Structure 1
């Protein structure tokens, strides 16, 4: 049985009531209007400050998340009884696409960690007590979440993480560290993946809700990234951190499986988010090259330029079709691991092509740091690394094709 079939179709399971907040979320235009148009959350409350937050290397996560939480956008596919809207995962994808209109990659990524990377397993498998303590305030925007998976020497290879949570009575004692933790310096709690037994690597891991203000949690440093400048990224250490066993999400030893399910939603979310960004970069490049002249004619009128932009736009639409097909299958409880991996792979590689080609057409202006295309060029590079590197996506695809060499 597939993971999706065994564990449900995402946090908004079959039979879960839809609606909530008395808003017409079933109107396809609602999310666009509410986020980018009618309520102006992006236009008025985020984009005017992006340049400042990029320069400062951090954005006010609690303030921004509270705005989104108040509008109902941090839990569109989460249970109604915990503040969510109870809609299917396609609505989360719609939100992700609209968040691509934010004029940087770091803030949407931080929001995605909150909605589709740190909370799906909690929404699916967490106890009622845990959901009340961590999920509900995350959906309302009162708490900021982070995901603790990657470590030094264990990024895409999740099975090799070293952080341990040793059981002592009714507590876990956590030791180790996490690297590249998005939202790490501002987070109120972490969805932590740790080894909880000496069983084989795929059966010895568990997910634990860990408050970041717990004694023994140390934020070692804020990492200086090449891109995603406004999203704080931290290295975190755990020194004999004691966690109640009741903070365990679901069953002990099922953490690897739960995390793989979270990864599928993360990868589809990242793909949808970058699609809108790529659309915007191409449109801005069209506008700029129509005005900029070389050899007495607009840059856009050179066949090599408008043909290349047409090729890129075609690739974007093909990727959009793959994303929408994957999402449609996912909400019907199909295993979309192969398709999600393909979408993630293509999104990472295509965003690099779009960034490189469009920056070239901006000429010297593209090499400055104050235009969107150069920011996109830096930010988008992470997509082929974070959430599973390209090579890992290829290995997953090969596994489903049964072409991996036998051990």
Structure 2
């Protein structure tokens, strides 16, 4: 499948090129960094040392005029590209009409329309309901509230390497200590952890990995106490881990048989990112509840819980909500984002991007034994970097390669429990030649760092 041309996917009229006119960071970015140190809390860190001035298509332009290739999409948020034309038009129109009434006070059609669209797009053809919120963590937390209300049980199981957010409950669900949990406890109770299927590390089939996880759940918690299982169909911050085939369906089957709500956290993997509307679609599973955020509104804060009507309706009136949940500007952005994905065939484009990226990275893996595995789906691809002799995680190499690429004008993110994974999340509006150039820069970084 050939990639779409830049003209087909639209975007702001920014030159789609890597252009370095100063060192990285340039003088204006350094000036802003100094102001940042005096005004922004030290706990808020940044990946890139530059400050953005404009973005669109596959580039971010900084305040010094450098044009950077974007392989991060603001952590999978600007899936349709920054300031996509339909989104800008829709949000501008909504901005002129009204910016906020609070749906819980004076409701509006945009919220209902987004709920209808997500009810149709999430896996399964059963009757569904949706509630809108502002952040991914908020969606996950509310999904658990809903599951507890429905089952009248309290315990929740999350998995090794999981990332679910930074609120107190979602920190408890998250597996990684640094930087997310250290010093912030005590955490919410009745959260338990089960082993994930991690084919590169455990070598287990999906069936064997599921048997191991279910055994741990039954021994540690017991189905009679368990309200919900929450899992990312493809892990995000944990390292873009794709479970072995059959792992997720076995968990779903066990959950159904034991009156346990199965929650798919699709905050990072949903909304066309993997070459399907949701990563669950690749696995042939139908979750009871699905959380959506990041890419759904093209950069405006919006999240959702969507699921079986009888489960979603279990919470009492007034039990769900929030002042900004389903803000009208974000709803307008979401409807425009979903329309853009459909009208410009961006699900197919995500698949094509995945084929190009995995081909290039597979060739790199053949040349460089430090690339232990290339994995992912669609435009959600990662490289796990290791010591070739021991296969132990090499976080220092990941940091060095990402830094080298960033200094050459390519935005690359790291992740993984061990910090040894490079993740690529290009916007689906990135031109093919620009993506190829970004991969060229990444190739050279491996050649330079020995």
Instruction: Tell me the TM-score normalised to structure 1 length.
Output: 0.30
Q: Give the structure with the higher percent helix.
A: 1
Instruction: Tell me the TM-score normalised to structure 2 length.
Output: 0.28
| Higher RCO (C-alpha under 8 Å, 6+ residues apart) | 2
